[in-house]
Amino acid sequence: MTHQVQLFINGEFVPSKSDRFIPVTDPATQEVIAQVPCTTADEMAFAIASAKEAFKSWKEVPVSERARLMMRFAHLLKEHQTEIAEIICRELGKTVEDAKGDVWRGIEVVEQAANIPSLMMGETVENVARSIDTYSYIQPLGVCAGITPFNFPAMIPLWMFPMAIACGNTFILKPSEQDPMTVNKIAELFALAGAPAGVLQVVHGNKEQVDVLLRHPDIKAISFVGSVNVGQYIYKTGTDHLKRVQAFAGAKNHMVIMPDANKQQVINALVGASVGAAGQRCMAISVAVFVGDSQQWIPEVAAAIAKVRPGVYTDPDAAYGPQISPQAKARILSLIEQGKVEGATCLVDGSAVQVPGYPNGNWVGPTVFSDVTPEMTIYKEEIFGPVLATVNAASLDEAIELVNNSPYGNGTSIFTASGAAARKYQHEIEVGQVGINIPIPVPLPFFSFTGWKGSFYGDQHAYGKQAVRFYTETKTITARWFDDSIPVSGPNMSINLR
């Protein structure tokens, strides 16, 4: 029988009573490797009730104990990094090193969650008035929920629930139905680390289960990463139901190449940043803006990318794996054809790539377009595949205007030897995460992941200090204590707070 993915509710893995299942397929072969249930309404209600009940005791656990749970959890994730990576390879098709990196970036967030005592420190001012002090506490919200995408099945869930739980909340996680087994393994390790029953729940399904989380009155905050349309829906629906929402959506990331940049560094960076992970990452470089004389390098960039080839994760020479589904592959191929029709020059065409022995895989080869203009579909839409569009600009000012006109603002980078150019770019660009001679500027977790514009809906971003603000409320206390044995000086001991 095909493996049935279980639910993780109230500290136990249990088979769902659902009569509706979604197949989980190996994207390199289309073999069905598991069936993931659509969690029933009763099971969803039980998971939320369990999380709400667990919150009553979990919020009272000393912050130092919550930190030690995260230390134990990080240790177990490190011990099982290869095992988790193998699950990712099996259900998503990533290469082994890419999958290990997926896990490791999540571990770094858990390590940040282990610093939670210092991150939850409040503020105090003594004698705001005579013998009156004011101080603030940071307290958890209650039950929070996360909805995560297929492309980073370890890292993105680990962006969310460790920070939320370390803050004193409980958490319900709904991972992508396309690769759910990674999250189940992570939940198993979290329980092994000593997490009390009910602190973390894992439910499975699709839009129906997401809608329960968005509308249920006991869910206080929603974290989401995914596509633009779904991100907008999550944000609108969640806020309409008076919840806090952070929704990370689409991207169209530009890399600006100045003529004084190191050519070989530019080529190396573009190869990995454009087609790495099969282009299935929201921080991928999908547009390269060549300024002035650097436009002469485009043929060399195309030649380098043309050497890259996809393959199965067991092939050590494969640069990246398949697309997640036949539907994703078909969409990418359609956009490639659209680029040709609209007049872009296809320097490298990966539409017909084949991987020997895997004729049914969702393969798309590396693809490079030149002569791309902002009116073209391949420039405007997030392709989410191994496709690079190159654009020409006459000056840095023109490149900045091009990037700032994009509706997205997730990440961008500039390659240059000029400190003045880099300073101008980082100051004027309207993008949340900027790399200088670094193609994919994802910050480490003691900062926050800070997409702008149409790449993010909400107020507080993921991990780091902003995540603590998102998952907590601030309580401010103004206190005065009377002691008849201590004489009080001053004509008036009252305080007017208005």
Q: Report residue 483: phi and psi, to 5°.
A: -145, 110
* Secondary structure, 3-state, the chain: CCEECCEEECCEEECCCCCCEEEEECCCCCCEEEEEECCCHHHHHHHHHHHHHHHHHHCCCCHHHHHHHHHHHHHHHHHCHHHHHHHHHHHHCCCHHHHHHHHHHHHHHHHHHCCHHHHCCCCEEEEEECCEEEEEEEEECCEEEEECCCCCCCHHHHHHHHHHHHCCCEEEEECCCCCCHHHHHHHHHHHHCCCCCCCEEECCCCHHHHHHHHHCCCEEEEEEECCHHHHHHHHHHHHHCCCEEEEECCCCEEEEECCCCCHHHHHHHHHHHHHHHHHCCCCCEEEEEEEHHHHHHHHHHHHHHHCCCECCCCCCCCCECCCCCHHHHHHHHHHHHHHHHCCCEEEECCCCCCCCCCCCCCCCCCEEEECCCCCCHHHHCCCCCCEEEEEEECCHHHHHHHHHCCCEECEEEEECCCHHHHHHHHHHCCCCEEEECCCCCCCCCCCCECCEECCEECCCCECHHHHHHHCEEEEEEEEECCCCCCCCCCCCCCCCCC
Q: Under a CB-based contact definition with an 8 Å cutoff, are residues 422 and 416 in contact? A: yes
- What contacts 214, CB < 8 A, 6 or more positions away? 222, 234, 237, 238, 241, 243
Give Cα 62 distance to the centre of its chain: 29
Task: Decide if 282 is catalytic.
Answer: yes
**CA dist 265 to 158, 438, 440, Å?**
32, 10, 13
Count of positions (residues) in the chain: 498
Integer Cα distance of 320 and 355 in angstroms: 12
Out of 38, 89, 144, 282, the active site residue is: 282
What residues are annotated to the active site? 282
